[in-house]
Structure formats: structure tokens, C-alpha cells
Structure 1
Amino acid sequence: MEDNMYSKLNIIERVILLDPKYIKVFRNKLKITQSKLAEESGVSQSHLSMLEKGKREIGEAHAAALTLGLLKSSNALSKEDPISYLLDVLSLTKLESAIVQFIYDITHEKDHKCRQEVEGYPVYIIDKKYFSEELKKRVDVIEIEKIDFFRGKMKIEGKHFDKKEVVLLDCADIRRLEKKVSNTLKNKTIIQIFPKSELPPIYSCRGDCIILHCW
């Protein structure tokens, strides 16, 4: 059990070591101020600020201290398994990043198979099978097992390396994801999700799908 706990902590430390900018992502998700994290981690706030901006390199000692600081200064310790809770935050963050990058790729590839023109505007129709295949290739934090599409939302289920089941990206997350995509593409993007039974005929798709409008 103890070895499993340390292996989970090691995942979080490695993410911070690979890219210290994830510290700010964790802070925002867990609603932790920079000064609070600095205090709990024993790192000066000025140094932490430089790490988050990518202006300082980070070593293993600081990565370990910051991981512990994230646990101490958030509500994670009130959870039954605080380290898994932090891993869930990481999983959602990585998942959203993978989806945003996938959408960026298809909208920047000329004559992509998903692209159509509807009343002169580009529309991307992404069926669930293709979307699932792409996510499984792009996400290594969790093993994606199931993706369900409902009207206006999707649910993604999977497991961490230790087989702990997680449910990610439910209804409220779609609007946040939409904002991230819009910011990345530098234009207004509307994400619609339809099960086959409710899909408007104009889109001519035979299965559950995501409709992406880019203006």
C-alpha cells in the first residue's frame, strides 16, 4: 500500500519536473493562492512565481516539496484518498489539454476529413469512434475505457495505472473546454454534442458525434 502511495506521488512530481507551469494549473484547479502554496512548500513566493512562468529550472527537491504543499494547502486532505484526488485533477487537466490539441490539429489541417461547409462557415463533424481513438492515443495519465455522448455533454470513464476508476469531463466541463478551445484557436468556437437519436439531419452523420463550429 505504501509503495502504491509513493508511486502516485511520483507521477505528480514527474509532471511538475517535466513542466513547472503545471504548478499554476494545479493551484487554479484546487483554488490555492500562490502565497499559500509557497508557505506550505517552504519555497519563496518569488521563486515559485518564476517556476510557474517557466523562468527557473526545477529540481527534484522542489518538485517533492511542492507536491506535498499542494496536498497540505488544498482540500485534498479531506478526501478519503487525497493523492488519488490530486491525480484526478491531473487527469482532467491532461484530458482537456489533449482534446484542445486534437481540435487544434484538425482545424489547422487543410482539407481534413472532418471539415464541412455549412452556410459558408467551417463545421467539423467528429464521430465518437474517431474521437475515442484519438483520445486513447493522446492521453497516458489514465486508460480511457468508455466515452458516452448525451445532448450537450459527454462522460469519459477510465482507470489510473492502479486501476482506480475515474469519471472525467461531465456536463459543466464542456463550457470550460469550449472556452479553452476558443482561446487556443483565437476565434469563437461552439462545441455541440449529439447522440445519434437527436442529431439534426443537416449534419448527415450516422452516429453519436461532436459538432464544432468555428467563427
Structure 2
Amino acid sequence: MPAIRHHVPDDLLMGYAAGVLPQAFDLVVAAHVSLNDDARVRLAGYEELGGAVLSDLGEAELAPDSLEQTLAKISRMQPTERSAPTGGVFPAPLRKMIGGDASAVKWKSIARGTKQAVLCADGDATARLLYIPAGQAMPEHSHRGTEMTLVLQGGYSSEDGHFQRGDLEVAGQQTHHTPIADDDGEDCICLVATDGRLRFDGLLPRIAQVFLRI
């Protein structure tokens, strides 16, 4: 696998360690960490720090449903196992959710060969797989919230640089870009999480947005 150049920011990694991210973001961070030795080391540090902070806290009165709340948060967290076995595309957290590798995905066509598969939705946050044919450009857009894009196969370029397997792009409300899949013969597959709908520049993408839930 090529060297990872775009890493998860510290605030998202700390949020994952604390268990406060939406399920969709948890999935993307877990998948990125499973592909990224650097992120895995940083995550271990935050988890150790969190344990130390908890050990220094005094006793506090617990809510009657505190156990149920804790178990619910634990069940939503994704394991940070290592990457897919040789020949696989998806890292372990994603394979566990889907029940298999890329061949098990139930894709829905968007346009011009591009496909998507919605994996989970938690309030305003949604995680989906996106399949972009080699050389294909996505519609120009900005964001109403945060968008996390993890490359699983192939690569793409945008105004923020070039991204390949294991790279994570985090786009905010100030980001305005047009991702274009690499034209090297290998189609691009990404895991994408958003907590707000995209802002498309073109009329047709805005119409399609109603039906595609993006």
C-alpha cells in the first residue's frame, strides 16, 4: 500500500477515543485507523490519557440508566483491527458492517457509472460507499457540515491535493471542490461520512440530491 499522506485530525481521533462521534464518523475513523499505523499509535495515546483522567476523578452519582447508555455507546464503536487480508479492498471494520468485501456491496447507480451504497444514518450523519469510475469527475460542491472521505481503492484529486488508499480528506463548510478520480485504469472506491447535506453548484445535481440523500 502506498504511504498515507493525509491523516485523521487530532480532534476527530480524540472524539473517537471518547466515544462521542456519530456512528457514521466512527466508522470512517475506525477504517482509517485500521489502515494507518501512525493513527493507531496516536489513538492508543489518547485512550491511555483518557484512562488516566478517569482514574483521577472522584466518585460521581450515576444516572439510573447509565449502564444502558454506556453499553449503547460501546456497541456503536468500531474495532480498530488491521487492514483487509491480502487481495481485499475493505478494512476490517467495514467488512464487519457489510458482511464481506467489495463484492458484497449492494450498489445503486447515480449517473455516468458512479454508484453509491448508504451504510448507516445517525441523525444528520450518514455513511456511504461511493464508487467513481476512473477519470470521472464528481459534481462541483461545497458543504453544510463536515465531510470525511477515506480512499479504499484507486485515488482522486481535488483542490486540496491528491488522495489514495488510506488517505483521509476532511472537508468543512469553507471547502469548495471538484473531486476527480485518477485516470489510471483503476476505479475509485471511497467511504464517505457527512453530517450535513452537500451544496451542489449545478442544477441537475441539486435535483438528483433529493432522491440520492446526499
Shorter-chain TM-score category?
under 0.3
Report the structure, 1 or 2, having the larger helix content.
1
TM-score by length of 2: 0.27
TM-score by length of 1: 0.27
User: Which structure's CA Rg is the greater one?
Assistant: 1
> Relative contact order (C-alpha < 8 Å, sep 6+): which is higher?
2
